[in-house]
């Protein structure tokens, strides 16, 4: 039996902290299996990496160019994906625009649109509704393992401190002293 098709969101170098939270909420709404905030590279998951970027060879997301489980890579709000980030992508999608008012969409808006199209392509079942709201599960199940935290707040704070210390150690080893001075993917994909 074939493995279930799923989507993963990779968040990297998003400048506005509240956008990460909004991305996580969109991911929950659209059945994303996992949200990865880049700073470490997890194991290969047997999936395509889709860059959400306006490139010459990008396909419109409305064409649903997906083939299997997909990790979506969203770039910085101002600069988009770096060349190194583009180099790791298997393919690209863009969101067609029909008006002339903006050069690009906010990263959280773009993520919501792309994830919705992926969910339509996969055929995720629609959540039940009660009144004018969707029914929320007591605990996310099935394809949302990366969005539910069972640790105490103290354990989460301790883990965040350890991650920050590890990130600082990596930056110091690579000649940087402040997180703003380095790009996490630059450290992971150095030549």
On whether both 29 and 61 belong to a single domain, the answer is no
- The domain tally of the chain equals 2
Per-residue DSSP letter, 26: H
Euclidean distance between the first and final Cα of the chain, in Å? 39
User: Has residue 40 got a pLDDT over 50?
Assistant: no
Span 171-179, average pLDDT: 46
Tell me, yes or no, whether 188 lies in a domain: no
Tell me, yes or no, whether 56 lies in a domain: yes
Span 131-138, average pLDDT: 88
Tell me, yes or no, whether 93 lies in a domain: yes
Q: What is the residue range of 113's domain?
A: 43-125
On whether both 63 and 115 belong to a single domain, the answer is yes
On whether both 25 and 11 belong to a single domain, the answer is yes
pTM listed for this prediction: 0.57
On whether both 59 and 35 belong to a single domain, the answer is no
On whether both 21 and 52 belong to a single domain, the answer is no
Give φ, ψ of 84 to 5 degrees.
Answer: -65, -40
Residues whose CB is less than 8 angstroms from the CB of residue 110 and which lie 6 or more positions away in sequence, other chains included = 52, 74, 95, 104
């Amino acid at each position: 039996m074939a493995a279930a098709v799923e989507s993963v969101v990779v968040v990297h170098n998003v400048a506005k902290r509240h956008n990460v939270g909004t991305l996580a909420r969109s991911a929950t709404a659209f059945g994303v299996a996992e949200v990865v905030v880049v700073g470490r590279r997890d194991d290969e998951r047997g999936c395509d990496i889709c860059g959400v970027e306006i490139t010459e060879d990008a396909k419109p997301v409305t064409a649903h160019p997906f083939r299997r489980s997909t990790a979506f890579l969203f770039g910085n709000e101002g600069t988009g994906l770096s060349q190194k980030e583009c180099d790791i992508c298997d393919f690209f999608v863009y969101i067609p625009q029909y008006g002339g008012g903006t050069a690009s969409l906010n990263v959280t808006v773009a993520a919501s649109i792309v994830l919705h199209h992926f969910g339509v392509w996969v055929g995720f079942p629609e959540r039940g509704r009660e009144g004018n709201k969707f029914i929320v599960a007591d605990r996310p199940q099935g394809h949302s393992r990366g969005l539910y935290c069972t640790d105490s707040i103290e354990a989460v704070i301790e883990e965040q401190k350890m991650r920050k210390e590890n990130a600082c150690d990596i930056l110091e080893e690579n000649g940087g002293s402040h997180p703003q001075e380095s790009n996490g993917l630059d450290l992971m994909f150095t030549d």
